[in-house]
Structure 1
Amino acid sequence: MAKTEQTANFTEAERDAMKARAAEGRAARTRGKKDPAQVRAEGEAEVRSKLADMPDDDRELGERLHAMVAEVAPHLVPKTYYGMPAYANEAGKVVCFYKPRSKFKVRYSAFEFDQAANLDDGAVWPTAYAVTALGDDELAFLAERVRRAAS
């Protein structure tokens, strides 16, 4: 696509994310007519596919985060969000998602929480965590936040 005034403000990665989100929106419209088990299975397949396409370091982090979310918040439904692995509540709203560093060619990956996350704590609270490695302590830390966010 040739750069025009309308596209020059977005990077290729940002345009790809917008295209992925548009495709996810189209898919979501058909999901309302499907059995919840089928929606979960399709979401799981989408997330697994995205993880498989990632470079090794991002994939390893993503797979560990995916397993952790499935364990501590099994009621969250896997799906993609702007082409990234995400987990939604029963209303279909994204609670948390994994942003691999390779997607936007940045220094670190991130595990983030969206508006549907139940994290409110006073006037200020974190909604994103930089992730460069995941040991047991880091997984336990994030697991507690996912548990709270999904409650």
Structure 2
Amino acid sequence: MPSKDEKNLAQVIDKLAKMDEPRRSIMRRVHDVIVSAAPDLKPRIWYGMPAYARSASTPALVTLRNDDRMNLAITEKAPFQVAGGADGSLMPAAWYFEAVDEHTEQRIAEIVRSVVD
């Protein structure tokens, strides 16, 4: 019998599989980057979106959204740090993307690691 984590992962993979191309391939690539960058995060569905949490019973820290635009977002449950510089006390929380290249993969990995470190 599959574990809760295995069931949750299957739900996320199914959600990604139901997306139209090219978004399906892009979002699957981002999913792979997230689980590689933070292997301790557990994939699950959170408010209908693929998401990643510390466990099956804790709030999601990172979500993937597929609306008018695709985006990676940090939820309010993640530890935030003010941006500083020109952004002052603003806290970055969402990044939109239309494609994923190597540089974007690296930045996504950095963002996700910053949430779990």
Sort the TM-score into its range (normalised by shorter chain).
Answer: 0.7 to 0.9
Q: Tell me, what secondary structure is at the counterpart of 1:99? A: strand
Deviation for aligned residue 1:134: 0.3
The within-5 A match list for 1:37-48 is 38-48=3-13
The within-5 A match list for 1:1-151 is 38-90=3-55, 92-101=58-67, 106=68, 108-121=69-82, 123-151=89-117
**Superposed CA RMSD:** 1.5
**Higher Rg:** 1
**Identity %, equivalent residues:** 26
Runs of 4+ in 1 over 3 A off after TM superposition: none
Name the structure where helix makes up a greater proportion of residues: 1
8 A contact 2:34–2:108 mirrored in 1: no
Q: Work out the CA distance in 2 between the residues paired with 1:92 and 1:138.
A: 28
Cα shift readout 1:62-115 (whole Å, capped 9, x = no counterpart): 1011101111111111001122111012351101011013xxxx2x21111101
Deviation for aligned residue 1:43: 0.9
Deviation for aligned residue 1:124: 1.6
Q: Work out the CA distance in 1 between the residues paired with 2:96 and 2:31.
A: 16
Deviation for aligned residue 1:44: 0.6
TM-score (norm 2): 0.86
Cα shift readout 1:121-147 (whole Å, capped 9, x = no counterpart): 262221000110100000101110100
TM-score (norm 1): 0.68
- Equivalent residue letter for 1:74: P
